[in-house]
């Protein structure tokens, strides 16, 4: 039982050292604020004597240095140069009042509160949007707060769109705990045989010497992985992806907890019956899975590759104004993802996407966007004009403020956030945007629609459809076409015969399987012809590939 006592003392000592670090060391946490409003931890600013160094964790526990702040309050952050080497570059500076400037001394952000006794601060940009957040540890200090806030803001404003690269820079021992444990399990037998013949700590006794040797072997495996990852390679993305696969797909929360509990029980059983042969194995399994629980903060779930749209898409709307700063006449249009998520059986938080429009462009026939529409004021349209007008409408109506483009980008960004938050597969974003057109745009015939003066035949621009919140099959299909086009999908605007009609009286869109799409179209989408997937924009719940019974799929023709 003396060996167990020594083991407990070692664990208690480690916990005590960690507690002392947090209580006595001066540090501040640095966060960047995501477009969704959530705060994501960037790292810690640690004060050593008179130096301020930024790490992504606790330094002596294997955290990586990702920057520093010099005595003149200039913030240097780790960045990859053209030769794929990591260097620390001056991103800007901050003064004692929390005013943050870029390297060219242009004001870019400021802290909302700095002063004696303040423990946390939000960083806001010129549009009064929060872009970063900082808070001090137990030993607070204004010097730490302003430097940490500046590091967060400058990290956001100069962030690379390559999130895989950021993960490559910031990977630490915590990310290596489970992969190292799996390697240790594979090598356990030869390591154990060698351990019996190796008394590197003979003064501890045979059992504890063996356990110590095996735990050192586990630590050595972690160090080797770390050395390979950080020292022998510049951009080893294959290892990054492998580690991400282990962390995300092995760490299913329920199984993780069960394995940890089982590991603890078996470890104590080994100590109780004084059989130390398998004790290191149980300890390593427990440590590996316990540490792995903290690698990702989202819900644990085995998933088809998800949340990677950000690296493929990476676009933001051109306007970031707040409500109080919008030009006169601007209005908000809010659309909900709630019913769409409910239909997929997902418990949700009523997520919404908010779009901004200039009301003067749409409020009457004299509005700028209404006047741009070739269908405006036409009581009838002949077949040739219908094709010409349709081409102009699906080409879009972006004006000086690019409202239509910004609205489409905002919808896609919002759909990406939904995929990320609820662990949806990449291709399910296609389902979401189609369902958005089906559900959020009310089906109203042209002759019954007041915003377009009840014009008998009128194809709305996508911006008009979003502003009005209504439209018939052609309006919904123009919107769907524009969104899919923005996603680099090979999409066609299609005319069809429906309801037994001998005339073309309905409109939809057709997706084609090509390599140009940001995400491959899945095999689960049914093709009505090889490589072609019909999308119905009017009936809610009809997934891509579902052709309603009343639609004659043999009649589908494309707008050339």
End-to-end CA distance of the chain: 83
- Is 360 domain-assigned? yes
Listed residues 297, 325, 352: the one ending a domain: 297
Same domain, 160 and 182: no
Q: Domain tally for the chain? A: 3
| Model confidence pLDDT, tens digit, residues 201-224 | 666 667 778 888 888 888 888 888
pLDDT higher than 70, residue 326: no
| Model confidence pLDDT, tens digit, residues 347-362 | 788 889 999 888 888 8
- Is 441 domain-assigned? yes
| pLDDT range class, residue 4, cuts 50, 70, 90 | low
519 touches 489 (CB < 8 A):
no
The C-alpha atoms of residue 58 and residue 318 are separated, in whole angstroms, by 38
| pLDDT range class, residue 324, cuts 50, 70, 90 | very low
The C-alpha atoms of residue 120 and residue 136 are separated, in whole angstroms, by 6
Same domain, 410 and 469: yes
Q: Structure tokens of 374?
A: 């070739």
Same domain, 200 and 262: yes
Does 138 or 407 have the greater pLDDT score? 407
- Is 201 domain-assigned? yes
Mean pLDDT score, 498-514: 92
For residue 495, what pLDDT is reported?
A: 94
- Is 4 domain-assigned? no
Give residue 428's domain range.
310-558
- Is 12 domain-assigned? no
Same domain, 325 and 432: yes
pLDDT higher than 70, residue 512: yes
Same domain, 157 and 202: no
Listed residues 145, 167, 189: the one ending a domain: 167
The C-alpha atoms of residue 413 and residue 407 are separated, in whole angstroms, by 10
Listed residues 297, 329, 350: the one ending a domain: 297
Give the C-alpha distances (Å, rounded to integers) separating 220 from 256, 393, 511: 24, 63, 52
- Is 20 domain-assigned? no
DSSP codes of every residue in 373-410: -TTTT-S---HHHHHHHHHHHHT----TT-HHHHHHHH
| pLDDT range class, residue 229, cuts 50, 70, 90 | low
504 touches 495 (CB < 8 A):
yes
Q: Nearest CA to 437 among 460, 403, 406?
A: 460
Same domain, 136 and 230: no
- Is 184 domain-assigned? yes
- Is 1 domain-assigned? no
Does 503 or 16 have the greater pLDDT score? 503
pLDDT higher than 50, residue 304: no
pLDDT higher than 80, residue 150: yes
Q: How many residues does the chain have?
A: 560
- On whether the pTM is more than 0.75, the answer is no
Same domain, 175 and 163: no
Same domain, 550 and 431: yes
Same domain, 430 and 454: yes
H/E run at residue 355:
strand 352-358
Same domain, 478 and 394: yes
The angle that helices 206-230 and 2-24 make with each other, rounded to 10 degrees, is 40
Same domain, 491 and 504: yes
Same domain, 191 and 226: yes
Q: Quote the DSSP letter at residue 138.
A: S
Q: Where are the extended beta strands (E) located within 458-560? A: 470-471, 490-498, 506-512, 532-535, 551-558
| Model confidence pLDDT, tens digit, residues 462-489 | 999 999 999 999 999 999 999 999 988 9
């Amino acid at each position: 039982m003396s060996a167990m006592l020594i083991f407990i003392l070692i664990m208690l000592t480690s916990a005590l050292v960690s507690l002392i670090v947090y209580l006595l060391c001066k540090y501040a946490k640095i966060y960047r604020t995501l477009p969704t409003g959530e705060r994501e931890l960037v790292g810690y600013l640690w004060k050593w004597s008179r130096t301020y160094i930024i790490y992504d964790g606790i330094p002596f526990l294997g955290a990586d240095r990702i920057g520093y702040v010099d005595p003149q309050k200039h913030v240097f952050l780790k960045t990859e140069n053209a030769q794929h080497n990591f260097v620390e570059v001056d991103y800007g500076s901050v003064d004692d009042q929390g005013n943050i400037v870029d390297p060219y001394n242009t004001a870019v952000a400021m802290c909302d509160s700095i002063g004696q006794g303040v423990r946390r601060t939000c960083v806001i940009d010129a549009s009064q949007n929060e872009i970063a957040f900082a808070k001090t540890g137990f030993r607070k200090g204004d010097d730490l707060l302003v430097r940490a806030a500046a590091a967060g803001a400058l990290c956001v404003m100069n962030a690379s769109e390559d999130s895989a690269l950021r993960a490559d820079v910031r990977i630490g021992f915590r990310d290596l705990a489970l992969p190292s444990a799996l390697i240790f399990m594979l090598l356990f037998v030869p390591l154990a045989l060698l351990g019996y013949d190796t008394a590197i700590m003979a003064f501890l006794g045979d059992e504890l010497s063996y356990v110590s040797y095996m735990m050192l072997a586990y630590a050595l495996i972690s160090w080797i992985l770390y050395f390979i990852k950080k020292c022998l390679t510049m951009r080893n993305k294959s290892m990054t992806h492998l580690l991400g696969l282990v962390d995300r797909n092995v760490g299913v929360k329920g199984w993780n907890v069960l394995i940890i509990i089982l590991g603890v029980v078996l470890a104590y059983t080994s100590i109780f019956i004084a059989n130390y042969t398998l004790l290191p194995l149980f300890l390593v399994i427990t440590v590996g899975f316990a540490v792995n629980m903290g690698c990702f903060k989202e819900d644990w779930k085995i998933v088809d590759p998800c949340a990677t749209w950000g690296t493929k898409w990476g676009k933001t709307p051109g306007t970031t104004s707040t409500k109080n700063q919008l030009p006169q006449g601007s209005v908000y249009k809010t659309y909900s993802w709630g019913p769409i998520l409910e239909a997929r059986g997902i418990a949700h938080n009523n997520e919404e996407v908010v779009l901004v429009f200039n009301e003067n462009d749409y409020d009457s026939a004299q509005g700028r966007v209404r006047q741009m529409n070739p269908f405006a004021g036409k009581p009838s349209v002949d077949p040739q004009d219908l094709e010409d007008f349709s081409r102009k409408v699906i080409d879009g109506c972006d004006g000086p403020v690019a409202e239509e483009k910004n609205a489409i980008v905002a919808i896609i960004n919002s759909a990406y956030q939904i995929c990320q938050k609820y662990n949806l597969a990449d291709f399910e974003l296609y389902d979401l945007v189609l369902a958005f057109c089906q559900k959020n745009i009310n089906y109203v015939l042209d002759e019954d629609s007041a915003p377009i003066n009840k014009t008998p035949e009128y194809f709305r621009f996508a911006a008009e459809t979003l502003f009005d919140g209504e439209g018939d099959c052609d309006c919904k299909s123009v919107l769907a076409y524009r969104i899919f086009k923005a996603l680099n999908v090979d999409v066609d605007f299609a005319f069809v015969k429906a309801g037994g009609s001998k005339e073309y009286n309905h409109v939809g869109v057709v997706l084609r399987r090509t390599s140009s799409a940001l995400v491959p179209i899945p095999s689960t989408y049914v093709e009505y012809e090889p490589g072609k997937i019909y999308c119905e924009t009017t009936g809610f719940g009809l997934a891509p590939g579902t052709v309603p019974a009343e639609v004659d799929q043999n009649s589908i023709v494309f707008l050339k």
